[in-house]
């Protein structure tokens, strides 16, 4: 009997990208769930699979892979019939690689804002200057994405792994940046959420419980 496909996962975390792609491919993995801050994320078990104790990690095809971009690339290359990757020599290859990298530029800013708004506990207080700077930088990446969208998706030929990498960030960005200035991004995010693969992954997740507010303002000095 083949080994099961197992995703090590935090609901509505970056591992959602992997769950989404698996659902787009018609694959429902076994899921080991974690919660940010759980001791299990710092102990042997997850750290044997992902050395920094971070999600995602995916057990598949007799191997284990960590880092969402690496996992998505592997899934594209090992299951090319789905057409979610862009191979070397493809005319869209450079734009595809740029979008994969840009997704982590944006995600790193969201991570910093998450740390400042959600994880600091009294008497620690976030630096208003740092939060303002990272909020402005996140807004700048959204402005760049507004210009990057080509038709319905990021690439002219259609939906790809780049959309799953970058599109997932749009779940979190509206908690920190007012989105009125980005009509193309809003329409793009709405299209992504209508995809059956996204909806199937979201149904597995259930309601998000990470953000307690609808919007997080920059703290006062």
Average pLDDT over residues 171-193: 98
- In the chain, what percentage of residues exceed pLDDT 90? 81
Q: What is the pLDDT of residues 66-117, one digit of tens each?
A: 999 999 999 999 999 999 999 999 999 999 999 999 999 999 999 999 999 9
Burial of 147 (C-beta count, 10 Å sphere; 0-12/13-18/19+): exposed
Residue 19 above 60 pLDDT? yes
Residue 161 CA to residue 174 CA, distance in Å, equals 22
Whether the CB-CB separation of 158 and 24 falls below 8 Å is answered with no
Report domain extents, the chain.
93-194
CATH classification of 93-194 is 1.20.1050.10, yes or no?
yes
Residue 71 CA to residue 54 CA, distance in Å, equals 13
Q: Mean pLDDT check: name the lowest of 58-62, 84-88, 115-119, 195-199.
A: 115-119
Q: What is the pTM of this model?
A: 0.94
Residue 170 CA to residue 114 CA, distance in Å, equals 14
Average pLDDT over residues 174-181: 98
What confidence category does residue 1 fall into, taking pLDDT thresholds of 50, 70 and 90? very low
Between these two residues, 40 and 74, which has the higher pLDDT value?
Answer: 74
Which helix (H) or strand (E) is 208 found in, with range? none
pLDDT at site 2 = 66
């Amino acid at each position: 009997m083949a080994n099961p496909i197992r995703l090590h996962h935090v609901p509505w975390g970056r591992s959602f990208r992997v769950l989404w792609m698996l659902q787009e491919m018609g694959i429902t993995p076994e899921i080991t769930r974690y919660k940010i801050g759980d001791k299990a994320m710092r102990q042997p078990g997850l750290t044997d699979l992902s050395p920094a104790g971070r999600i995602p990690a995916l057990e598949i095809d007799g191997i284990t892979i960590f880092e969402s971009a690496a996992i998505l690339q592997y899934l594209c290359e090992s299951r090319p019939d789905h057409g979610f990757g862009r191979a070397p020599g493809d005319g869209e290859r450079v734009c595809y690689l740029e979008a994969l990298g840009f997704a982590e530029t944006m995600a790193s800013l969201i991570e910093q804002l998450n740390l400042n708004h959600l994880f600091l506990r009294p008497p620690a207080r976030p630096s208003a200057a740092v939060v303002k700077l990272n909020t402005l930088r996140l807004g700048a990446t959204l402005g760049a994405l507004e210009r990057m969208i080509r038709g319905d998706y990021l690439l002219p030929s259609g939906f790809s792994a780049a959309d799953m990498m970058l599109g997932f960030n749009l779940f979190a960005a509206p908690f920190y940046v007012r989105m009125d200035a980005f009509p193309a991004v809003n329409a793009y995010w709405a299209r992504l959420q209508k995809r059956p693969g996204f909806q199937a992954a979201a149904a597995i997740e259930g309601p998000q419980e990470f953000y307690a507010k609808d919007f997080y303002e920059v703290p006062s000095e």
